[in-house]
Amino acid sequence: MKILVADRISPIGVDLFKAETGFEVIEAYGSSPEQILDLVKDVDGIAVRSETKVTAEVFAAAKNLKVVGRAGVGVDNIDIEAATDHGVIVMNTPTGNTIATAELTFTHMLAGTRPIVQACARMREGAWDRKKFTGSELNGKTLGVLGMGRIGAEVSKRARAFQMQVLAYDPYLTEARAKDLGVSLAKFDELVAQSDYITVHMPLTADTKHMINTKTIQQMKKGVRIFNCARGGIIDESALIEGLKSGHIAAAGLDVYEDEPPAEDSELRSLPNLVVTPHLGASTQEAQENVGIDVARQMIETLKGGMVMNALNMPSVDPQVLERLAPYISLGEKLGTFSQQLGPEGIEKMIIRYYGKMAELETLPLTNAIQRGFLREISENVNDVNAPKKITRLGIQSEEVKISVHDDFNELIEVSVINNAGKTRSISGSLFGKQQVPRIVLIDGHSVEVNTDATLIVLKNKDVPGIVGFIGQVLGEDSVNIANMSLSRDKGEGFAVSVFEIDSVPSEKATQRIVEHEAIEKYRVIKL
């Protein structure tokens, strides 16, 4: 494995790479974009901070690249969409700077409560303004925390130590988790209206952009204090400035901005009741060392086939879970391949149903495997990273359904593909015996038992005598050997489904003879 360390990370992290057998480390700090393009041609991993830009051109040039690791949280310098297109995992290190950011947030809260920064500035000017710098106390106040991830939770812990009441707004926070953290769940409007202090700890998304704006500020208490050490853009800066100037907002603290750095003439730099810092959230010695060590450990684990941690463009799954899922993943991939080859033209929807014991498992890796199998014959360089995106780009909607019981099987995976005319084909599979051997067990509801490691002929024909003999004769004359077969009859419709495991693909002449037979309704050759 060849690792490019493009930006300076902790020397301990670099040493972790070097200590791995079979790893070659290239340290190329301060390289130009042109030099980076040359260096990445044969690397397996790239470790960066915020300086090096990992662009679409970089991903196109790095043919062996498997993972890009960001020593830190923000990934604005990495083209994640291009990474996904090329099947490259992008990961960050969100835990390394958790404490540093939480402590900076609390520093801003304290500075917004007691005007220490302003008083210090006046002292340096020779003044002694004791009466001018009367502050407030955190004790007994209500803190509203927007976002209760790792950093939000750490801020809340410190607020409780200061005897503050904590309200939390987070769409993914459960009552049980809130109780464990000692905070009270609140709706957004409730938190805005009831809080004396508000701190932001959410990612910047379409939903969170300017979530604090003129309207929400008007709903806040007069004298509210607002802090943002998360992402610029969550607070509408023009609305914040107006609130600070009017006095509706007593004080605020910012470490992040909509444009970084803010313009030299920005009012953010001159408001007396606003404390600003130059994006220092992760700027502690401990945090810098932690993120360097974390990125190295995560990249090594991924490149050695272990657990993928903190990936931004694929799910992180524990290796023990993957080991348990391994037989199902193999089955799922074959079902995906089968459904693509058997399915009708113009597929618009894929429904994946997990029955019985399957419904209790972590099924996202299985769904990825099914999508990967579906794309295997029709797309290049498919893996778990880019399969979901490639499926979406084909205009196929993917749906996952879990059902606790199946009438005939303890566990079953069913893949149904539906085209724009509503035509549906379905394939189901399960595992058999102590060896957990994968088998195809249903085709369009017809019971069969078929190996998943074979070339198959799938027929749907009128249930009349002589069809099996006819197929055997045609294949025999074409020197195609039949290894096994499975037959399912549908008495109600008068049709039968036959599956022949064959050693080689029939010739065009043999295929033509079969499809021209008046009793043959459907004929497909499936390569698994």
How large is the C-alpha radius of gyration of the chain? 30
Average pLDDT value for residue range 422-447: 92
- Determine the Cα–Cα distance for residues 383 and 365; give it in Å rounded to an integer: 11
Separation of alpha carbons 58 and 39, rounded Å: 10
Give the whole-angstrom CA distance, residue 225 versus residue 244: 9
Average pLDDT over residues 60-80: 93
Listed residue (428, 307, 429, 415) closest to 371, CA to CA: 415
- The confidence band for 494, taking pLDDT boundaries of 50, 70 and 90, is confident
Question: Using DSSP, how many helices (H) and how many strands (E) does the chain show?
Answer: 17, 22
Residues 181 and 158: beta-carbon distance below 8 Å? no
Catalytic residue numbers?
231, 260, 279
Residues 6+ apart with CB under 8 A from 67: 44, 45, 46, 88, 89, 90, 91, 299, 302, 303
Is 70 exceeded by the pLDDT of residue 102?
yes
Query: pLDDT tens-digit profile of 295-351?
Result: 999 999 999 988 788 888 887 766 677 778 888 999 999 999 999 999 998 999 999
What's CA 390's distance to the chain center, in Å?
15
pLDDT digits (tens, 9 = 90+) for 151-169: 999 999 999 999 999 999 9
Greater pLDDT, 393 or 275: 275
DSSP classification of residue 480: P
Strands ordered across the beta sheet of 197-200: 184-185, 165-169, 142-146, 197-200, 224-228, 249-254, 274-276
pLDDT over threshold 80, residue 490: no
N-term to C-term CA, the chain: 31
Angle between helix 116-124 and helix 98-113 axes, rounded to 10 deg: 70
To the nearest whole percent, how much of the chain has pLDDT over 90? 76
Residues contacting 320, CB < 8 A, separation 6+: none
Mind listing the pLDDT tens digit for each residue in 179-211?
A: 999 999 999 999 999 999 999 999 888 889 999
Q: In angstroms, rounded to a whole number, what is the distance separating the alpha carbons of residues 499 and 49?
A: 55
Query: What integer pLDDT is reported at residue 380 of this predicted model?
Result: 76
DSSP string, 313-370: SS----HHHHHHHHHHHHHHHHHHHHHHHHSPSSEEEEEEEEEEGGGGS--HHHHHHH
For residue 307, the model assigns a pLDDT of 79
Structure tokens at 261: 């750095």
pLDDT at 318: 67
**Residue 493: predicted pLDDT:** 66
Sequence length of the chain is 528
- 121 pLDDT higher than 70: yes
pLDDT tens profile 3-62? 999 999 999 999 999 999 999 999 999 999 999 999 999 999 999 998 999 999 999 999
Instruction: Output DSSP code: residue 43.
Output: -
Residue 174: its pLDDT value, please?
A: 85
Distance CA 480, CA 286 (A): 68
What share of the chain has pLDDT > 70, as a percent?
99
Residues 281 and 108 sit within 8 Å (Cβ to Cβ): no
pLDDT exceeds 80 at position 265:
yes
Cα–Cα distance measured from residue 408 to residue 406, given in angstroms and rounded to the nearest whole number: 6
Q: How far is it, in rounded angstroms, from Cα 53 to Cα 167?
A: 39
Whether pTM exceeds 0.95: no
If DSSP codes are grouped into helix, strand and coil, which group holds residue 468? helix
* Element (DSSP H or E) covering residue 84: helix 80-85
Q: How many whole angstroms separate alpha carbon 403 and alpha carbon 444?
A: 18
Is residue 523 within 8 Å of residue 453, measured between CB atoms?
Answer: no
Ordered structural domains, the chain, with CATH: 2-95+287-303 (3.40.50.720), 98-276 (3.40.50.720), 317-452 (3.30.1330.90), 454-528 (3.30.70.260)
- Identify whether the C-beta of residue 58 lies closer than 8 Å to the C-beta of residue 37: yes
Q: Is 105 helix (H, G, I), strand (E, B) or coil?
A: helix
Say yes or no to pLDDT of 491 above 70: no
Predicted pLDDT at 326: 85
CB 16 within 8 A of CB 297: yes
Residue the block writes with tokens 């409007």: 189
The pLDDT of 359-380, averaged and rounded, is: 89
Q: What is the DSSP code string of 123-179?
A: HHTT---TGGG-----TTPEEEEE--SHHHHHHHHHHHHTT-EEEEE-TT--HHHHH
pLDDT at 495: 87
Quick check: helix, strand or coil at residue 254? strand
Extract the tokens encoding 55.
């662009």
* Three-state DSSP class for residue 473: helix
How far is Cα 439 from Cα 483, in angstroms, rounded to an integer?
15
pLDDT given for residue 73 in this prediction? 82
Q: Chain-wide mean pLDDT for the chain?
A: 93
477: amino acid identity, one letter? E
Average pLDDT for 277-287: 91
**3-class secondary structure, 415:** strand
Q: pLDDT at position 319, please?
A: 66
User: For 351-360, what is each residue's pLDDT tens digit?
Assistant: 999 999 888 8
Q: How far apart, in whole angstroms, are the C-alpha atoms of residue 167 and residue 195?
A: 8
